[in-house]
Structure 1
Amino acid sequence: MTTAALESTMFKGAGVDIAADTGGPADGVPVVLLHGGGQTRFSWGAATRHLAAGGYRAISIDLRGHGESGWAEDGNYRLDAFVDDLAAIVATLGRPAFLVGASLGGLASLVTAGEKRAPVAGLVLVDVAPRIEMEGAERIGAFMRAQPEGFASLEEAADSVSAYMPHRPRPKDTSGLLKNLRLKDDGRYHWHWDPRFIGREISSSEFTQNGIRLENAARALTVPTLLVRGALSAVVSEESVAQFRELVPHGEVVNIAGADHMVAGDRNDMFNEAVIDFLNRQTL
């Protein structure tokens, strides 16, 4: 499939401006893509362009506090804030949207669909489920907190990423990291997210309540739902998948061989095929 050109735009979220890339026919079925914590809309690789070329109205957003989107003045990065942003965006589209969410973006999408916070036509969860393995999640958090002082060079940043993701070849051209890093006044490269996002501590009561909420949202799903899991994932285990199947009996599961938690980045070709096949079966 050929790819399509994208245009950058801004949406009004719930008190913050949300940056997005959009493509495809204006009257196409909308598909909103939400990346994981610490990532940006560029983490989807060619997926947004493939969707646009396939006739969908593809909308890939930067979550609040990430990429080119606004930072919350009050430092609100609770789950509800991301849900409110998503609901505000979907409300402008004029018809129900398919939501494709990875990790944090998937949790916001699950709550939005399960609690009917916005008109949703279908849901794709990318390596995230109501139950996640805390060891894998803590490893992600540790990586995000590891370099608060930034990096002296793009090469140093690339070394850090390569150590975190040894299954993925280290890129020879490190300029792609500029999509996620910014050169600050201190002369060092820093990850381009609001430090308050990763610095916020989640209490045990909030964690427990979120878990219950996610299970209830999954149980309430009535729209077509697909879980795309990285076969190498330490975040979504076989036990996670088993619980997902119990909570969402009509849900589908696809395992992507050779992919870890960042499924679209690890195996973009297989990811695109699985998602487009699912969408086509719901819309054609």
Structure 2
Amino acid sequence: MTVKFNVCEGLKLAADVKGAWTGHPVLLLHGGGQTRNAWKGTGRVLAYEGFFSVAVDLRGHGESDWSPEANYTLDAYAADIAAIVRALGRKVAIVGASLGGLASLHTIGKSPDLECSALVLVDVAPKTRATGRHRIKEFMRANPGGFASVAEAADSVSQYLPHRPRPSDLSGLTKNLRLKKDGRYYWHWDPRLFDGGLTDSINEAREGLELSAATTSVPLLLVRGTNSEIVSEEDAAAFRSVAPQAEYVEVPSAHHMVAGDNNDIFSRIVVQFLNQHIDRI
């Protein structure tokens, strides 16, 4: 079922919910350039395990509103997350990948009173590889004129993710595209995403993100893909030295988009961590 959350600036964010409302809520936050559809498999597993899964399209992505003022700072994303947690009205576990993870960690630092029961960071840490970040930004800024067909967009994804087999059925990709009146397909995200202060706000927040990780009492887990282009082994070690209380797991053969590369193992890791740290009685 799809629902809408009212957040900051009067924006509405789309979310898919799965499982019984009485289950412990797990908020799933995708990375930059993704949508809530990235969590489809994990959401099903969480619902099966008795959790209440809430997968959200971040502002400027998917079916959620775009910011009229192109406000895509880390503060804006954190305010949205806090609004959703408060709307749910009880303790919430958060699973955040890439941008979603940084925004979640920033949220906890800015709102220490927020009802958060656990935090899972998926292939992201305060310090990451600059080359990997640059590659993501290049992909998202490419093709401003859109694509003539879904197949052309699929070719672009295959070049960006050469380790993944090109799917024979491209219907799933249409969820990440918008067909406009000019007959061309455009990525679902706001092209002003990086013009709205996102990169600068992340760079400015890095020390604060480390402090949040070091001082939070919320159970914390870092999940890293062993083939990650973003979080190196050194980055993970630096994070663990700052936050020695955090648990750490690697997903074999997974790249930056861990859930998409090995969803079965990833979902199992998340469920095990949540069951260990959340009292669901």
Q: Do these two structures clear the TM 0.5 threshold for a shared fold by scoring above it?
A: yes
The match for 1:171 among 167, 175, 184 is 167
Contact preservation (8 Å) 2:109, 2:208 = no
The match for 2:51 among 56, 72, 93 is 56
Aligned position for 2:2: 8
For 1:137 and 1:44, the matched residues in 2 are separated by 21
SS at match of 1:169: coil
1:117 Cα deviation from its structure 2 partner: 5.8
* Greater mean alpha carbon deviation, residues 41-50 or residues 101-110: 41-50
For 1:69 and 1:159, the matched residues in 2 are separated by 26
For 2:118 and 2:92, the matched residues in 1 are separated by 7
Contact preservation (8 Å) 1:114, 1:219 = no
For 1:117 and 1:229, the matched residues in 2 are separated by 28
Contact preservation (8 Å) 2:73, 2:198 = no
User: Does 2:215 correspond to 1:220?
Assistant: yes
| 1:73-129 Cα distance to aligned partner (Å, 9 max, x none) | 111000010000000010012211100000000011111223326211110000000
Question: What is the percent sequence identity of the aligned residues?
Answer: 53
User: Does 2:99 correspond to 1:99?
Assistant: no
Contact preservation (8 Å) 2:71, 2:197 = no
For 1:14 and 1:26, the matched residues in 2 are separated by 24
Aligned position for 1:188: 184
CA 1:202–1:61 in structure 2 vs 1: closer, same or farther (change >3 Å)? closer
The match for 1:76 among 71, 77, 95 is 71
Contact preservation (8 Å) 1:83, 1:109 = yes
For 1:42 and 1:50, the matched residues in 2 are separated by 14
For 1:203 and 1:254, the matched residues in 2 are separated by 27
RMSD, matched Cα: 1.4
1:219 Cα deviation from its structure 2 partner: 1.5
1:259 Cα deviation from its structure 2 partner: 0.9
Number of residue pairs the alignment of both structures matches: 277
* Stretches of structure 2 lacking an aligned partner (at least 5 in a row): none
* Greater mean alpha carbon deviation, residues 218-227 or residues 191-200: 191-200
CA 1:231–1:153 in structure 2 vs 1: closer, same or farther (change >3 Å)? same
Stretches (4+) displaced over 3 A: 198-204
1:202 Cα deviation from its structure 2 partner: 5.7
For 1:151 and 1:234, the matched residues in 2 are separated by 26
Aligned position for 1:111: 106
SS at match of 1:11: strand
Aligned position for 1:135: 131
| 1:217-240 Cα distance to aligned partner (Å, 9 max, x none) | 112221111111111101001111
* Stretches of structure 1 lacking an aligned partner (at least 5 in a row): 1-6
| 1:224-274 Cα distance to aligned partner (Å, 9 max, x none) | 111111111010011111111112111111111111111111111111111
Contact preservation (8 Å) 1:13, 1:88 = yes
The match for 1:155 among 151, 154, 171 is 151
For 1:100 and 1:47, the matched residues in 2 are separated by 10
1:201 Cα deviation from its structure 2 partner: 5.5
User: Does 2:216 correspond to 1:258?
Assistant: no
Contact preservation (8 Å) 1:65, 1:194 = yes
For 1:141 and 1:201, the matched residues in 2 are separated by 13
User: Does 2:26 correspond to 1:41?
Assistant: no
1:207 Cα deviation from its structure 2 partner: 5.0
